[in-house]
């Protein structure tokens, strides 16, 4: 008789990066420069996403629904941001594509990095939506401290990759976990889901 408990369903916002066996030693020195054109685009995409999230807040309060087009634009912003963070953080060598798919499921146009969403479009919780800005505060507070630790992990990895061409597994796992956690919190804050994010790197 199998007494194992079923695993918990995944959070409706997921992120992962394929492990690179080696990273060219010079990449930590220049990838932050190479990605500047993308960050200019991301700046404008983030403004649009913020406006869409603000409008979505009213839409959910009045209709109990999140328009699918809104979900797609917010997914685009978070996915684009993740791709740039993975590249500027020299987790991978492949240059991020200039693609702007507004689909919740990852379109697979950047192999090796996945940001996938299952947005809640119907039957939204108006109460938690109304208080979303307050409810997300504990997540942001904890995430700030995790982010500081991730910053130091990145610094350690910078020298490791610079001299060995390899990410230490523990540092990589922590940094990817931070990006995963940040993805869930951003999806919650931007109203893609009503499910409260776990305080977890997994």
- CA–CA–CA angle 197, 199, 201 (5° rounding): 100
* pLDDT greater than 50 at residue 44: yes
Q: What is the pLDDT of residue 22?
A: 86
Mean pLDDT over 170-182 rounds to 96
Query: Residue 15 is inside which H or E element, if any?
Result: strand 13-17
Report the share of the chain in percent with pLDDT over 90: 82
Q: 22: how many CB neighbours lie within 10 A of its CB? A: 11
Q: What is the pLDDT of residue 7?
A: 52
Q: What is the pLDDT of residue 3?
A: 44
Q: How confident is the model at residue 130 (pLDDT cuts 50, 70, 90)?
A: very high
Q: What is the pLDDT of residue 8?
A: 57
pLDDT in tens, 45-95: 999 999 999 999 999 999 999 999 999 999 999 999 999 999 999 998 899
Q: 153: how many CB neighbours lie within 10 A of its CB? A: 21
Query: Is the separation of the CB atoms in 196 and 135 below 8 Å?
Result: yes
> Residue ranges of the alpha helices (H) in 5-35?
27-34
pLDDT in tens, 8-33: 568 999 999 999 888 888 888 889 89
Read off the pTM. Answer: 0.91
Q: How far apart are CA 52 and CA 47, in angstroms?
A: 9
């Amino acid at each position: 008789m199998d007494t194992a408990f079923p695993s918990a369903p995944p959070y409706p916002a997921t992120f992962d990066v394929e492990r690179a066996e080696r990273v060219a030693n010079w990449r930590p020195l220049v990838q932050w420069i190479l990605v500047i054109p993308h960050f200019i685009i991301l700046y404008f995409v983030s403004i649009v996403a913020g406006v869409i999230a603000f409008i979505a807040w009213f839409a959910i309060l009045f209709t109990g629904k999140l328009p699918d087009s809104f979900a797609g634009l917010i997914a685009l912003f978070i996915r684009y941001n993740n791709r740039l963070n993975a590249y500027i953080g020299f987790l991978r060598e492949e240059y991020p594509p200039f693609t702007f798919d507004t689909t919740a499921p990852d379109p697979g146009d950047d192999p090796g990095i996945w940001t996938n969403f299952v947005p809640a479009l119907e039957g939204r919780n108006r109460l938690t939506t109304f208080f979303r800005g307050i409810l997300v505060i504990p997540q942001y507070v904890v995430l700030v401290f995790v982010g500081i630790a991730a910053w130091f992990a990145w610094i350690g990895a910078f020298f490791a990759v610079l001299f060995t061409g390899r990410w230490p597994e523990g540092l990589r796992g922590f940094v990817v976990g931070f990006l995963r956690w940040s993805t869930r919190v951003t999806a919650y804050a931007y109203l893609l889901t009503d499910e409260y994010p776990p305080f977890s790197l997994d």
